[in-house]
């Protein structure tokens, strides 16, 4: 009888520790998975009222001189604590039209080559231009998408709780040769709000 009781008690203890262990790991996972979640209140950034903090712009079937934008992205802090700073990062990936596989097209430009031809004509956050923060890193004489993707656009002024700000971007494809025919890219703009 005593043996059974002891067994029961140790079973219960084992169950409790398993439960505690699970809870702890779940909380830790949450903290790691979403750095926007803090102990006191929440930072909940939404772009243009959609959950998720990456806006994607597709640049395909463009002709020389074509422009994109101005694209305006609304950044909302739906949380209840102020975001002290905002980090922006741009990236891109190749998005060619099917014609790029056609045998009569001898050249397939890379995403980097395409991005270097996309001059950033406007980049504004909170009404302040960001172009002066982007150096001509690829030394081609213009501020382009490849430069922007490699520039440091962190530590910008944040967004207070329940407030929203705008990010605006526009770009123009240069006077490229027919080598760029059927080339295209997807442009991803990621926003991170920090406490």
Kind plus residue range of the DSSP H or E element containing 13: helix 2-33
Q: Whose CA is closest to 190, among 20, 54, 73?
A: 54
Interface characters, 163-192, with Ca ion (x: CB under 5 A): --------------------x---------
Report DSSP state, residue 194.
E
Smallest distance, Ca ion to C-beta of residue 184, A: 7
Q: Which residue is nearest to Ca ion (CB)?
A: 183
By CB under 5 A, is residue 113 in contact with Ca ion?
Answer: no
For Ca ion, the closer CB: 165 or 183: 183
Show the CA angle centred on residue 134, arms to residues 90 and 180, nearest 5°: 60
Structural contact between residues 75 and 162, judged by C-beta atoms closer than 8 angstroms: no
Q: How many angstroms separate the Cα of 107 from the Cα of each of 102, 110, 181?
A: 10, 10, 9
By CB under 5 A, is residue 82 in contact with Ca ion?
Answer: no
Q: Is 169 helix (H, G, I), strand (E, B) or coil?
A: strand
Smallest distance, Ca ion to C-beta of residue 192, A: 24
Applying the rule CB under 5 A, the residues between 90 and 109 that interact with Ca ion are 96, 108-109
By CB under 5 A, is residue 117 in contact with Ca ion?
Answer: no
Where does this chain touch Ca ion (CB under 5 A) — which range of 10-18, 28-36, 132-140, 169-177? 132-140
**What does the binding site for Ca ion look like in residue numbers (CB under 5 A)?**
96, 108-109, 136, 138, 140, 144, 147, 183
């Amino acid at each position: 009888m005593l043996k059974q009781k002891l067994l029961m008690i140790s079973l219960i203890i084992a169950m409790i520790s398993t439960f505690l262990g699970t809870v702890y790991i779940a909380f830790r996972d949450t903290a790691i998975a979403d750095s926007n979640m803090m102990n006191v209140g929440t930072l909940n950034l939404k772009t243009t009222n959609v959950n998720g903090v990456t806006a994607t712009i597709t640049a395909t079937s463009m002709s020389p001189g074509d422009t994109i934008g101005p694209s305006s992205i609304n950044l909302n802090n739906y949380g209840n604590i102020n975001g002290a700073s905002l980090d922006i990062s741009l990236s891109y990936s190749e998005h060619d039209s099917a014609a790029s596989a056609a045998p009569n097209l001898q050249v397939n430009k890379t995403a980097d080559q395409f991005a270097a031809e996309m001059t950033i004509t406007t980049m504004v956050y909170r009404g302040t231009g960001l172009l002066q923060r982007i150096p001509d890193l690829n030394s081609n004489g213009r501020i382009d998408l490849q430069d922007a993707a490699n520039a440091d656009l962190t530590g910008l002024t944040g967004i207070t709780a329940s407030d929203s700000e705008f990010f605006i971007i526009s770009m123009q494809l240069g006077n490229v040769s027919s080598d760029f025919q059927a080339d295209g890219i997807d442009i991803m703009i990621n926003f991170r709000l920090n406490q």
